[in-house]
Amino acid sequence: MRSLATATAALAYVALASIAIGFSDASFHKSVCPPYMDLQIHDEFIVTFTKYDNLRNLESSLDVLVASYPVPLSSSSSLHRRAIKINHDVPTDFVVWTLFDWSPLSVIHWLGLQPGVKSIVRNRRLHLTSLNTQPASPQEDDTMPTSATWNYMEAWDMAQLRAQNITGHGVKVAIFDTGLDPDSARRHFRHVDDIINWTDEPVLRDSDGHGSFVAGVVGSVHRACPGIAPDASLVSFRVFTTSSASYTSWLLDALNYAMYLGVDVLNFSFGGPDFHDAPFMDKIHECAASGIVVMSAVGNGGPQYGTLTNPADQIDVFGIGGLGSTPSTIAPFSARGQSLWEIATGYGRVKPDAVAPATFVKGLYPGGDKCRMMNGTSMAAPLATGMVALVLSQIPSIERKRFGHVGFVKGVFLQTARRLPSIWNATMRSTEAGNTWQHIYEQGAGSLDVNAALAALPLAMAAPTAVLLPSSLNLTDCPYMWPHCLQPLYHTRLPLTINITMFHPTALTSQLVGAPKWTPSSADSDILSIQTFPGSEMFWPYSGAIGVHIRVTRPVLRRMTVSGRLTLFISDSPPVELYIEVPVIPAPPPRQRVLWDQYRNLQYPSGYIPRDNLHQHTDPFDTQGDHAHTNFGDFFHRLVVQHKLYVEVLTTDYSCVDDLSVYGLLLVVDPEEPWFPTEVALVHAAMRSSDLSVFVIADWYSPTVLTSMSFWDANTLSTWLPVTGGANIPAINTLLAAFRIRLSHRAWSNPGIMYLSGSAIVDLPDLGFVMWANLTQDSTGPTGLSPRRIASFESVKSANNAAVPPNDSQKMAVAALVPLQGANAGRVVVYGDSSCVDSSIAASSDAKATCEGWIDGLIEYALRGKLPEGVEAVNNLHVREDVDHDAADIRAQTLLAKYSKVLGHAPACPNVAFG
User: Which residues are known catalytic residues?
Assistant: 177, 210, 378
Calpha distance 531→733 (Å, rounded): 38
Cis peptide before 483 (omega within 30 of 0): yes
Q: How far apart are CA 475 and CA 105, in angstroms?
A: 55
How far apart, in whole angstroms, are the C-alpha atoms of residue 174 and residue 292?
10
What is the four-CA torsion angle of 299, 300, 304, 310, rounded to 10 degrees? Answer: -20
CA-CA-CA-CA torsion sign (774, 780, 782, 785) = positive
Whole-angstrom distance, CA of residue 38 vs CA of residue 124 = 11
State the DSSP string of 88-104.
Answer: TTS-EEEEEEEE-TTS-
Contact 318, 371 (CB under 8 A): no
Question: Please, are residues 510 and 544 in contact by the beta-carbon 8 Å criterion?
Answer: yes
Q: How far is CA 130 from CA 11, 12, 16, 239, in A?
A: 12, 11, 8, 15
Cα separation of the two ends of the chain: 45
Nearest to 51 by CA among 108, 102, 115: 115
On whether the CB atoms of residues 908 and 656 are closer than 8 A, the answer is: yes
Cβ neighbours for 183, distance < 8 A, ≥ 6 positions apart: 367
Instruction: Name the nearest CA neighbour of 700 among 757, 750, 756.
Output: 757
For 853-867, b/e burial (b = at least 16 CB within 10 A) is ebbebbbebbbeeee
Cβ-contact 336, 304 below 8 angstroms? yes
Buried b (16+ CB within 10 A) or exposed e, 284-300: bbebbbbbbbbbbbbbb
Is residue 813 within 8 A of residue 740, CB to CB? The reply is: no
- Cα–Cα distance, 70 to 530 (Å, whole number): 59
For the chain, what is the largest distance between any 2 Cα atoms, rounded to a whole number of angstroms?
87
State CA 483 to chain mean position distance. 17
Helices and strands (H, E) in the chain, number of each type: 21, 40
Strand partners, 657: none
Q: Residue 669 is which amino acid?
A: V
SS3 825: coil
* Secondary structure of residue 204 in the 3-state scheme: coil
Q: Is the Cβ–Cβ distance between 815 and 721 less than 8 Å?
A: no
**Torsion angles phi and psi, residue 578, rounded to 5:** -115, 110
The Cα–Cα gap between 855 and 847 comes to: 12
Give the closest residue to 383 by CA, choosing from 441, 443, 296, 314.
Answer: 296
Cα distance between residue 717 and residue 120, in whole Å: 13
- DSSP 3-state percent helix, strand, coil across the chain (nearest 5): 25, 25, 50
Residues 6+ apart with CB under 8 A from 13: 37, 126, 128, 246, 270, 271, 272
165 burial level (CB within 10 Å; 0-12, 13-18, 19+): exposed
